[in-house]
Amino acid sequence: MKISRMTASLLLACACAPAFAAGRVDLTALNDATITASPRFIVKYRNGSVEQLKLTERQRSLDLAVSRTKTKMGATSQTIAGHAFKAVTVRGTANGSHVIRANKRLTRAEAQALMNEIAANPNVESVKVDAMMQAAALPNDPALATHQIWHYGTGAGGARVTSAWDSGATGAGVVVAVLDTGATAHTDLAGNLLPGYDFITDMLVSGRGEDGRAAGGWDTGDWTTAGECGAGSAARNSSWHGTHVSGTIAETTNNGVGGAGVAPDAKIVPVRVLGHCGGYLSDINDAIVWAAGGHIDGVPDNTTPAEVINMSLGGVHACQVETQSAINQAVSLGATIVVAAGNSNTDVSSHSPANCANVVTIGASGSMGQRAGYSNYGIGVDLAAPGGAGSEGVPNGYVWSTHNKGTTTPVANPEGDRIVGMGGTSMASPHVAGVVALMQSVAPQVLTPVQVEDLLVSTARPFPAKPDRPIGSGIVDAEAAVNAARNWGKPVEGIALTAGVATALPSLTSPQSVIYKISVPAGATRLELLTYGGRGGNLAMSTQYEAEPTPSKNLGTSARPGTNQIITINAPAFGTYYVKVVGNSQTAVTGALIRATVR
């Protein structure tokens, strides 16, 4: 077939122009689009497109998508059949996406149809549901009392907070942001509250009567009526979840009132991100950045940036790009982010933000140190902390902290003040956030988030018995973590090894350890480190050049069953290598040897 010169030119011109496929539609949180009467979506338009830059063009595109959705759904949809159905822009996000809100409650089919039609615009890169996150607690109403010793003390399930207090650590000078339902002015908490912020932009979630954010961070209640959070959802009283979490971190102590907080001299920045039916992920992402001191358009900057952020919340989906970006930004600003693993008794890999990178993910244990039956588990959990197991009876089945008597809106203090037992990974996470505050308050220099995580993981005490599912390196040990933080950055003390000569190891039971050092001359080609012999349980060994080895910073580790561990470093540098040998079981290892060979 013969093609004219003009036709060929047109074909060539088309080949040179960019051709965009339909945008990616992420349906992982589709159910969340059915929860509220005004579901929201996150739309990423291509950089430089008219829809990204101009509100009028973006609205025109949305109107076309709505019109096509109506046509496609036709008579099968009673929700969107009327002409009042509309989708509008709520705001832009920190990463250049836009939050889009529909003005009608949608079914799964309707939400998916709308997302597909929005994505049909070639200038759309992606469309996803603005997921709803929920508090990660299992609320209950047992007898009111201040039974905290099991989760703060030195018993089988305790976090050894009382021993950390004995060493003088109180959290003084450290700011912790609590991203939750906000906080009430509980008498035993108010003195440690700094000005916060309410990041909820949707009035149906905030309950404020108008869209937009507000200063304060106060918990005005998150009660719901039957059917408010989707068909068949039950009515629920206000949880005062953020008040309970904040109290575990920094409830005032030594005042003869109520209970105690893990870091009683730390300060709390309450950040309200959860309200009626939960909270939108796009609001939470902004709050993460703001809490750490980052700038968010339309919100005054946080003048007291947090060194620690606690998020006792989550949803069942993958870690979204926008959430990971917000976390990364907060971590780059120096904030350690502590997250509840979730209460679904499933692998944490499906629970966000616990499955995100650069967070410390916390599982829950009971009063005997066992995994709480509801706690999520898996290799993504860093360590455990007391969360209560519920079936152990009062008080040991619950974590006790500050609360309010109101069923809907808060009752003013002091009449509304009370102490309540609750259970969940929501209760475990603030234990660790409080311990981080203790650590930072005694560290000779501010610890980076990576250093904090290393110290928490490496100092966690072993579980009294092996958990039925993996929930991290052990139970948080406040005393050991604080001592490690206090000595961080100081010269490493190690027992000198002589090359080629075996040295007897002391008896070691987890988590006991000993550090050795070996000097390597210039020109060496190989360094071999070996532990062997003896009897009993297991050993683990790690090494680092010119520094103490940690879980994230080492040149090699060995943790095989038994006592025989070996690490080989080829072409070692001139200088000192430090070797850490750790008891890696409840059974003591005795009679073992260590030898360093330099070739």
Q: Mind telling me the catalytic residues?
A: 180, 241, 426
Give the 3-state secondary structure of 423-445: ECHHHHHHHHHHHHHHHHHHCCC
- Rounded distance between C-alpha atoms, residue 485 and residue 444, angstroms: 8
Round to the nearest angstrom and report the end-to-end CA distance of the chain: 76
- Rounded distance between C-alpha atoms, residue 439 and residue 416, angstroms: 33
Rounded to the nearest 10°, the torsion over CA 432, 435, 437, 440 is -120
The H or E element that residue 419 is part of is: strand 417-422
Q: Which two tokens stand for residue 221?
A: 């209640």
- Rounded distance between C-alpha atoms, residue 538 and residue 14, angstroms: 67
DSSP 380: T
Give the 3-state secondary structure of 272-340: ECCECCEEEHHHHHHHHHHHCCCCCCCCCCCCCCCCEEEECEEEECCCCHHHHHHHHHHHHCCCEEEEE
Q: Half-sphere exposure (CA, 13 Å, Cβ side) for 27?
A: 10
Give the 3-state secondary structure of 146-174: CCCHHHHCCCCCCCCHHHHHHCCCCCCCC
How many other β-carbons are positioned within 10 Å of the β-carbon of residue 593?
Answer: 15
- Which of 456, 452, 450, 444 shows the shortest CA–CA distance to 489? 444
What 3-state class would DSSP assign to 352?
strand
User: What phi, psi does 495 have (nearest 5°)?
Assistant: -80, 125
* Phi-psi domain of 189 (left: phi exceeds 0; alpha: psi -120 through 50; beta: other): alpha
- Which of 223, 230, 182 shows the shortest CA–CA distance to 38? 230
Find out whether 261 and 186 touch, Cβ atoms under 8 Å: no
The H or E element that residue 243 is part of is: helix 241-250
Parallel, antiparallel, or unpaired: how do β-strands 495-496 and 308-311 relate? unpaired
User: How far is C-alpha 262 from the geometric centre of its chain's CA atoms?
Assistant: 18
- Rounded distance between C-alpha atoms, residue 390 and residue 370, angstroms: 12
The H or E element that residue 449 is part of is: helix 449-459
- The alpha helices in 464-559, defined as continuous H runs, are 478-486
DSSP 20-83: PPPPEEE-TTGGGGGTSSS-EEEEEEPTT-HHHH-HHHHHHHHHHHHHHHHHHHGGG-SSS-ST
